[in-house]
Chains A and B, each alone.
Chain A
Amino acid sequence: EAGVAQSPRYKIIEKRQSVAFWCNPISGHATLYWYQQILGQGPKLLIQFQNNGVVDDSQLPKDRFSAERLKGVDSTLKIQPAKLEDSAVYLCASSLDGRAYEQFFGPGTRLTVL
């Protein structure tokens, strides 16, 4: 079974630029999550989708971050414009549904903002 795929694996941009990350969850998984993991910290949930609807985006900085999952499968997370403090690893995870207990994580995208 293929795992959660993410791209790119690494991205370096300058502050005020825009960047987008892509995630393809495990086939059949209805729930998709985006986490931000700052160096030395645990992951923090940014947004949770159930199919193509948003379940929880309370910790998403909506002035600069946006995410979508238009067809209920792949998802993109965008930052526009980026700030230095956005430097982190962005992890995507998926689970069978919102009540499933195990989340499967992708390898992450490491973003460096200069």
Chain B
Amino acid sequence: AQKVTQAQTEISVVEKEDVTLDCVYETRDTTYYLFWYKQPPSGELVFLIRRNSFDEQNEISGRYSWNFQKSTSSFNFTITASQVVDSAVYFCALRPNNAGNMLTFGGGTRLMVKP
């Protein structure tokens, strides 16, 4: 069975602060994919990143960066210089390689960025 835990249910920061969203996962599969999605108030889930379990390189995309550590089963997401528009619920998700395309989501972290 797969499990994704996002221990931070809500985070509040002031604009321009850096913030890290934690994600810890459990799976017995040796190959899998990890994802981050953003859910703004409009409700639509927006894909941010996919990471293959073979690739532990960190990734940076603009103000976003991701730190994948297989040894600790973590896939953390950092927003640098946060902006009000970053306010949303962020979900981490796991898809084992042999599970079709079934995503298991964490409970989400609500990020509030105040001006």
Contacts and interface: CB of A to CB of B under 8 A. Distances in A.
Interface of A: 3, 31, 33, 40-45, 48, 55-56, 89, 91, 93, 95, 98-108, 110
B108 A101 contact: no
A89 B43 contact: yes
Interface stretch (B59-67, B80-88, B97-105): B97-105
A41 B95 CA distance: 18
The 8 closest A-B pairs by CB, nearest first: A42-B105, A105-B45, A108-B43, A107-B44, A98-B101, A43-B105, A107-B43, A101-B50
Q: Interface of chain B, helix or strand or loop or mixed?
A: loop
A107 B41 CA distance: 10
B95 to A, nearest CB: 8
Given A42-B4, A103-B101, 4 more contacts: A42-B106, A48-B101, A89-B43, A101-B95
Contacts of A106: 44
A39 B8 CA distance: 16
Contact of A55 (B4, B42, B100): B100
Q: Which of B45, B46, B47, B105 gathers the greatest number of chain A CB atoms within 10 Å? A: B45
Contacts of A95: 101
